Amino acid sequence: MSSAMLVADAALPREGGANRPVVDVAVGVLIRPDGGFLLTSRPVGKVYAGYWEFPGGKLEAGEGVAQALHRELHEELGITIGPVMPWRVEMVDYPHALVRLNFCKVFNWMGDLQMREAQLFAWQQLPVQVAPVLPGTVPVLQWLADERGFKNATYLVAT
């Protein structure tokens, strides 16, 4: 986990105040053999609609991260994923929620992508060509850049 919490839109008030509960989210970083990774847009009607992120969703009561990711990616994308590789955890303080993002790499899945929430999808390389990018997604792009040997932050998002 990062030493500092990422604060999104710091000037906005925090719904629920300082003692709000942490929302656990399972996030899939789907990576193809060519290194491309999947980003999806947030659906209309959700907070940050139209922003690009890695797909996933909230853990339900009694679910572990891998179980939630299997369920969420099937519900949202219509795919069945293979093994889940836990990768990194990032806390993000959004105005609407305090979120613990449990990022997992996924290299194998079955089925064709079906955008079941009318979201968009894009297979990306660094720098990503889609915008705007959700604040909680930016650290992941940096982690990918670090793993791939990019030393310059301009490799994250195309301008």
The answer to whether the predicted template modeling score (pTM) of the entire model surpasses 0.75 is yes
CATH among 3.90.79.10, 1.10.101.10, 3.40.50.720, 3.30.420.40 for 6-125? 3.90.79.10
Strands 6-7 vs 85-93: parallel, antiparallel or unpaired? parallel
Domain ranges for the chain, please list them: 6-125
What does the pLDDT look like over 44-99, one tens digit per residue? 999 999 999 999 999 999 999 999 999 999 999 999 999 999 999 999 999 999 99
Residue 153's pLDDT band (cuts 50, 70, 90): low
pLDDT above 50 for 1: no
Burial of 19 (0-12, 13-18, 19+ CB in 10 A): exposed
Percent of the chain with pLDDT over 90: 88
